[in-house]
């Protein structure tokens, strides 16, 4: 499985991220352990209003389950959320492989073109 911290992939903690990237970060944070809202806000670098919107969406879709621990909500990935995260990683891997292959093809093409010009 792909690691989100893998240097081959874009930094998902950057400022401008897609909804898919934020969803993946949230699911990554709750895939192994329950997490509270504050932890999720810190992990994803989003504010409470944004987190609330994403959590509502993820709960409605069945990607995240909630539980009450010590008087506060905690969140964990459901099986459906884990499946989504695995598919997301698979897609990232495919995109990276296509990018790498394309980059190698372009380099080979440029070298071949330059050699012909000599």
Question: Can you give the pTM of this predicted structure?
Answer: 0.72
Other beta carbons within 10 Å of 92: 20
| pLDDT (mean) for 59-86 | 94
Residue-by-residue DSSP string for 1-48: ---TT-TTS--TTSSS--HHHHHHHHHHHHSSS-B-HHHHHHHHT--H
Residue-range domain boundaries for the chain = 19-92
CATH code of domain 19-92: 1.10.10.10
Instruction: Give the pLDDT confidence of 17-68 residue by residue, as tens digits.
Output: 889 999 999 999 999 989 999 999 999 999 999 999 999 999 999 999 999 8
Of residues 22 and 99, more confidence is placed in: 22
| pLDDT (mean) for 103-109 | 59
């Amino acid at each position: 499985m792909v690691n989100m911290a893998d240097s081959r992939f874009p930094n998902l903690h950057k400022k401008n991220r897609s909804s898919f990237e934020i969803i993946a970060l949230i699911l990554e944070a709750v895939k192994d352990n329950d997490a509270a809202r504050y932890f999720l806000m810190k992990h994803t670098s989003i504010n409470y209003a944004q987190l609330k919107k994403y959590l509502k969406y993820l709960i409605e879709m069945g990607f995240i389950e909630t539980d009450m621990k010590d008087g506060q909500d905690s969140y964990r990935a459901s099986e459906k959320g884990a499946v989504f995260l695995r598919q997301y990683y698979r897609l990232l891997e495919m995109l990276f492989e296509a990018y790498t292959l394309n980059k190698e093809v372009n380099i080979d093409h440029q070298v071949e073109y330059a050699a012909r010009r000599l």
